C-alpha cells in the first residue's frame, strides 16, 4: 500500500491539499510530510529488510542475534543510508511548495513566476529561478553539514 501511495507524485497531490486546507501552514506541512514521509519510510524499510551482508556475516561469526542490536547497530546503519533520500526529498519539497504557490498563492516565488509569465518578464523569471536554485543549494549544504554532525562515527 505504501508503494502504491509513493507512486503518486507529490505535485499531483497539491490541488487536493489546496482544496482541503487552503494556503494554511498546516496544509503545507501535511503536504510536504506526505511527500517526504513516504520516501523516508520506504528507505528505512528497505534498509531494515535487506541488511548489510558484511554485518550479517559478522553477527553470525560472533553468534550474535542481529535483532538484539537495534540501538547499537541498526539505528546507526539506517541513519547512514538516509542522506540521499533526504537530499532528494528536500529538493522535491521546495518544488512542491513552488507549485503550490503557482496554483493560487498571493505571495512567494511561485506567484512572482506566474505574474511574470503573464507579463512576459523573462528577466524576472530567470531571477526567480536563480533565487530558487540558490535556496535549494543552500538548504542542501546545510543538510549535509547537519548530517555530518549527526553521523559523527563516519568521520
- What pLDDT does residue 2 have? 66
Domain that holds residue 22: 2-154
Instruction: Say if CB 78 and CB 48 are below 8 A apart.
Output: yes
- What pLDDT does residue 80 have? 79
Other residues' Cβ atoms within 10 Å of the Cβ of residue 138: 10
Indicate the pLDDT class of residue 75, thresholds 50, 70 and 90. confident
Instruction: Say if CB 39 and CB 90 are below 8 A apart.
Output: no
Other residues' Cβ atoms within 10 Å of the Cβ of residue 10: 22
Question: If we measure between CA atoms, which residue out of 38, 40, 26, 35 comes closest to residue 99?
Answer: 35
pTM for this predicted structure: 0.70
- The number of folded domains in the chain is 1
What CATH code is carried by the domain that includes residue 73?
1.10.3720.10
With 0-12 CB in 10 A as exposed, 13-18 as middle and 19+ as buried, what is 113? buried
pLDDT at 126 over 70: yes
Q: Using one digit for the tens of pLDDT, what is the confidence trace for 14-72?
A: 888 778 887 777 877 887 787 788 888 888 888 777 777 777 777 778 887 766 766 67
pLDDT at 145 over 80: yes
Amino acid at each position: 500500500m505504501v508503494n502504491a501511495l509513493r507512486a503518486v507524485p507529490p505535485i499531483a497531490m497539491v490541488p487536493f491539499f489546496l482544496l482541503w486546507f487552503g494556503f494554511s501552514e498546516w496544509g503545507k506541512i501535511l503536504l510536504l510530510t506526505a511527500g517526504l514521509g513516504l520516501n523516508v519510510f520506504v528507505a528505512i524499510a528497505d534498509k531494515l529488510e535487506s541488511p548489510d551482508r558484511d554485518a550479517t556475516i559478522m553477527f553470525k561469526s560472533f553468534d550474535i542475534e542481529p535483532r538484539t542490536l537495534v540501538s547499537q547497530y541498526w539505528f546507526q546503519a539506517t541513519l547512514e543510508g538516509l542522506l540521499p533520500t533526504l537530499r532528494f526529498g528536500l529538493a522535491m519539497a521546495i518544488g512542491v511548495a513552488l507549485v503550490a504557490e503557482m496554483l493560487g498563492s498571493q505571495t512567494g516565488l511561485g506567484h512572482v513566476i506566474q505574474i511574470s509569465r503573464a507579463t512576459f518578464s523573462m528577466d524576472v523569471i530567470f531571477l526567480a529561478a536563480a533565487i530558487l536554485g540558490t535556496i535549494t543549494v543552500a538548504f542542501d549544504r546545510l543538510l549535509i553539514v547537519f548530517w555530518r554532525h549527526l553521523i559523527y562515527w563516519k568521520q
